[in-house]
Structure 1
Amino acid sequence: MDRQISVSGEAAMLALGARIASAVRAGDVIALQGGLGAGKTTLTRGLLHALGLEGEAPSPSFALVQPYDAPPLRLPVAHVDLYRLDDAEDIAELGLDDYLEDGLVVIEWPERMGDRLWPHALRLTIEDEDAGRRLTADLTDDWRDRWSRL
């Protein structure tokens, strides 16, 4: 099941991230697809701030994984950017499964994982449209009810 939302501007993308944060729980994976500058990191920043992050949330483009601990966050988060990943075989070395025990994994450029993306992941695709961005949510059974309450 897919659901589309129009998002106009940075403030709206941050607010959407905050709404998604209200529904996340330990073991969740959020996979963010979209081109450069689509708003993937902005959405993640809104989510992180709503979970309790104060201060900056840098893009993990060079580190690949930017971990955030609880506390101060409501639950641990691994913000992952796979843009620079050359080989899907390198995914195992990132230790992302460990975060799913008690935290959340947010992945930018999940298509670089090939078939290694968890089947329960909430897949969000962000595309340009005339007045901003269009976000399409590919909802798993686990997310269907939670998404309807956002």
Structure 2
Amino acid sequence: MSAPTIEVVGPEAAGAVLEVVRAAFADRAPLDPPTDALAETEETIAARLAGGAGLVAHVDGELAGAVLLDAEADGRTVHLRRFGLTPAARGRGVAVALVREALHAAADLGDGRAERAVVFSREELPHTARFWRQQGFAETGRTPPYVELARALPRRLDVPTPDDMRALATGIAAVVEAGDVLVLSGDLGAGKTTFTQGLGAALQVRGGITSPTFVISRVHPSLVGGPDLVHVDAYRLGGAAELDDLDLDTDLDRAVTVVEWGEGLAEDLAESPLEIRITRAVGTDPEADDTDPRTVELDPLGLRWLGVPLPGSPAAGR
């Protein structure tokens, strides 16, 4: 099965988007009041695309999904509307990939002022709301028959040097607080420990921070009355159950917890984890040194990060 290909589109793709909307919404159970998505026309879709943007997904050359991006007047909030998949595309990984690309496109929309994404789900469709929660959205309002869910937008940052990685960590240290969980992922040598060293220095905790290869978790107490730093290496853990066995709950409430290799394991340690994905420009080339530029994706999940001025976000400049 091929991975989906996703592209940002404008009014010229109104026909394709409409085809997906009709296929997706006509295949759903009838609702009361009925959905207004089926009243869309090529003209109304084109008008929505002209005022914002859209994304279209294909799998093996066939239409698979679409979503419309609609920014509010102040540019800080982007609504994801008419999100849908064709029946044949379901269960093929298209939905998650489409959401991720839509969130990054929303962050780039207009002049880059957007801070959060919002979706509306029908109360009669709890499985739909559950899907959005799995993508980092949390309920922020309810006006029957709709549930409003929102999340902060992810950011991609270029990090050319180890000093820049430590500076990024310093920026994050300025906004984290006790109870926060940071989930780091990236190839060997990507810079996860360099990031954690910068975070520990900025938080002013005791002890030198090294890669916890032989000790799965370490607690670094604060020297200034701030939160402790718990540093965890999940590389050798066999699953979430082994992570639970570390009994981290005793430290989480009074510490900032950093879990290396934690993607897919550590997200349940907090309702609103901050996922940090580090990518090297040359991938896993063992000959590359520490000057190999990195790209860092900050993916803030849940209510905790709404309005928080993470590095790279518009709120950080205000």
Letter in 2 for 1:3: R
> Which residue, 294, 298, 302 being the options, matches 1:133?
294
Map 1:1-150 to 2 at 5 A: 1-53=153-205, 56-72=208-224, 74-111=226-263, 113=265, 116-129=268-281, 132-140=293-301, 141-146=303-308, 147=310, 148=313, 149=316
- Describe the shift of the 1:39–1:129 C-alpha distance in structure 2 as closer, same or farther (beyond 3 A): same
Percent identity, please.
35
- Describe the shift of the 1:91–1:2 C-alpha distance in structure 2 as closer, same or farther (beyond 3 A): same
User: Post-superposition shift, 1:115?
Assistant: 6.5
Cα deviation 1:8-65 (Å, max 9, x = unaligned): 1111101111111111101100000111001011001000001113662121121110
Deviates more, 1:107-116 or 1:48-57: 107-116
**Number of aligned pairs?**
150
Q: TM-score, normalised by structure 1?
A: 0.89
Note the residue ranges of structure 2 that are not aligned, 5 or more in a row. Answer: 1-152, 283-291
SS at 2:242 equivalent: helix
- Describe the shift of the 1:101–1:79 C-alpha distance in structure 2 as closer, same or farther (beyond 3 A): same
User: Post-superposition shift, 1:93?
Assistant: 1.4
Contact 2:206 2:222 in 1 (8 A): no
Measure the CA separation in 1 of the matches of 2:207 and 2:218.
14
Alpha carbon RMSD of aligned pairs, Å?
Answer: 2.1
- Describe the shift of the 1:114–1:56 C-alpha distance in structure 2 as closer, same or farther (beyond 3 A): closer
Contact 1:53 1:73 in 2 (8 A): no
Task: Report which structure shows greater RCO (CA 8 Å, sep ≥6).
Answer: 1
Letter in 1 for 2:305: W
Deviates more, 1:28-37 or 1:113-122: 113-122
Deviates more, 1:25-34 or 1:87-96: 87-96
- Describe the shift of the 1:122–1:115 C-alpha distance in structure 2 as closer, same or farther (beyond 3 A): closer
Contact 1:61 1:82 in 2 (8 A): no
Q: TM-score, normalised by structure 2?
A: 0.44
Note the residue ranges of structure 1 that are not aligned, 5 or more in a row. Answer: none
